[in-house]
Amino acid sequence: MSCTSVAAGRLDTLVFDDSYVRELPGDPESTNTVRAVYGACHSLVVPTPVAAPRLLACSREAAALIGLDAGECATPRFAEVFAGNALLPGMRPHAACYGGHQFGQWAGQLGDGRAIVLGEVLNAGGARWTLQLKGAGRTPYSRSADGRAVLRSSIREFLCSEAMHHLGVPTTRALSLVVTGEGVLRDMLYDGNPQIEPGAVVCRLAPSFIRFGHFELFTARGDEYTLGKLADYTLRLHFPELGAPSPATYVAWFHEICRRTARLVVEWTRVGFVHGVMNTDNMSVHGLTLDYGPYGWLEDYDPLWTPNTTDAAGRRYCFGNQPGIAQWNLARLAAALRPLIPEAEALQEGIDRYARTYAEGWRAMMAAKLGLSAFEAEDAARVETLFDMLRETPTDMTLFFRGLAELAELPGGVADDALLAPLRVAWYAPPAPAARERLLVWLRALQMRYARDGRPPEERRAAMNRVNPLYVPRNYLVQQVIDRAEQGDTAGIAEMLDVLRHPYVAQPGREGWAAPRPEWARNRVGCSMLSCSS
């Protein structure tokens, strides 16, 4: 092996750029005190060192994105760097300044209150990956909070980011999970019982962490200069295929964000993901799932379900509202871009494009979930009836669609019980007699539809199993991994990540990772409802 190949893949060989800091206006003040920051896209701030960093988990696939050898992740230096205790040459740590609408209300300046960008790695293929620590300490945007993150929510972010990637859903990535050796005080349920919990830091990766709220803040302040700088920068660095910045390119860019956001929400719908806090400051301009907080996975199908306790009364961010909320958020972004785009109609076209792309994407996605080669007009009623039935008989959405793939291979004249057998595992309660009859009628009609569709049964089954996951990071399973980790057994994190690497492939011996939510988990904190206190 030559000396150069020995060096490749090491921390010290990472090539960093600092375009966000270099090209965009920065905070003139350098003190790390909480304040309003004007006319700036960032404040330089270094992570606050922690007592005893220790690596709990690392994603080798995320490491590969920045050209880092998996072996390098096991070194003490890796834990130091990704806990925020040491900087690598070329890093320019900073917190971003942005605003946002939270629960429908303009919230003013928010900013990275506990996230600190370390720098942008340029990998050998020329791709740019921004590295960001979450939980790395206070910044000028921390408001009254501590800038830290607890282990439970860091495990949740780490596992779900990587699971989403393996599921094929656009997402920010997670490189590492490091415990800090320090305690963090949290009132998990906001009920006046704060507890000391273990602290942790996750390193996330994304092309950038630019949010809708970045643009909203400058427009809300009438700061068209910074708005223009940020828009031009975003176009040049992250959407160069659209051409040099101009009003026409701004329009094309907004349309592209609309298209990507539509695709994102279709994918969430496909896998049963509920983000939980779709505030505009948590919306990525790249169309990625961003900011894993009180998210959840739909188990018994219920479009009104929200995992977020803060949202329990209004259910603004429940599963069924996500497509409409994404559109509302895009309208906020459109308003923020208005100063750059003379014709309001062009922005409205983007919103219309979102609605169209979502509707088309949803039909194609539903056809694929059902194993049909195309969505026909009559399938709309079929799907509507299906969701009525899944609501009527509490049914696990994930397991239902896996069971349906079995059915795709059954012959037409099969007995009722055999027809229902693959679906039993998905029922949280057996169907009432009328519901059972209705389901049988629906299944027989689907079998006839399959016959007309004409695809070979085994091909249909395989295609269905490629879009209907078997393993998703169910809330109660992640909570069990968290419980174990808090007791000192952290092996569950790597075990679960390994299962989630292949979410569409049945893995013998790992049936427990696909099991429907047990009764005890129905109302347990962390398993069904989560707070924002992460």
Residues marked active site are found at 281
Q: How far is the CB of 108 from Mg ion (least distance, A)?
A: 14
Site mask, ligand AMP, residues 114-153, x = CB under 6 A? Answer: x--------------------------xx--xxxx-----
Q: Count other C-beta atoms under 10 Å from residue 532's C-beta.
A: 15
Cβ contact 418:440 at 8 Å:
no
Question: By C-beta, is 295 or 401 nearer to ligand AMP?
Answer: 295
By beta-carbon proximity to ligand AMP, the closer residue of 132 and 465 is 132
Residue 418 interaction partner, one of Mg ion, ligand AMP, none, beta carbon < 5-8 Å per kind: none
- Cβ contacts of residue 348 below 8 Å, gap of 6+? 334
324, containing H or E segment: helix 322-337
Sole binder of ligand AMP in the list 67, 293, 350, 361 (CB under 6 A): 293
Say if residues 261 and 283 touch (Cβ distance below 8 Å): yes
CB 113 within 8 A of CB 139: yes
Query: Looking at the DSSP assignment, which residues form a beta bridge with residue 181?
Result: none
For residues 152 and 461, which CB has a smaller minimum distance to ligand AMP in the complex? 152
Please, what is the minimum distance in Å from the beta carbon of residue 291 to ligand AMP? 5
In whole angstroms, how close is the CB of 61 to Mg ion at the nearest point?
Answer: 24
CA distances from 168 to 149, 153, 172, 266, 517 (A): 27, 22, 12, 12, 23
Go through 178-208 and write b for each residue having 16 or more CB atoms within 10 A of its CB, e for each that does not: bbbebebebebeeeeeeeebbbbbbbbbbbb
Residue number with CB closer to Mg ion (279 or 468): 279
User: In terms of DSSP H, where are the helices of 338-490?
Assistant: 344-370, 379-392, 397-407, 416-420, 433-453, 457-467, 475-486
Pick from Mg ion, ligand AMP, none: which does 148 bind, CB < 5 to 8 A by kind?
A: ligand AMP
Using CB distances below 5 to 8 A depending on partner kind, what does residue 65 bind out of ligand AMP, Mg ion, none? none
List the structure tokens of 376.
């026909």
Residue for token pair 């018994």:
300
x/- letters, 82..121, toward ligand AMP (CB under 6 A)? ----------------------------xxxxx-------
Please check whether residue 137 is in contact with residue 20, taking contact to mean a CB–CB distance below 8 angstroms: no
Residues 251-310 close enough to bind Mg ion by CB under 5 A: 282, 291
Out of 291, 300, 379, 396, point to the residue binding ligand AMP (CB under 6 A).
Answer: 291
Is residue 23 at the binding interface for ligand AMP, with CB under 6 A as the rule?
no
Question: Nearer to ligand AMP by C-beta: 112 or 232?
Answer: 112
Binding site for ligand AMP (CB under 6 A): 110-114, 141-142, 145-148, 277, 281-282, 291, 293, 532
Q: Can you give the binding site for Mg ion, defined by CB under 5 A? A: 282, 291
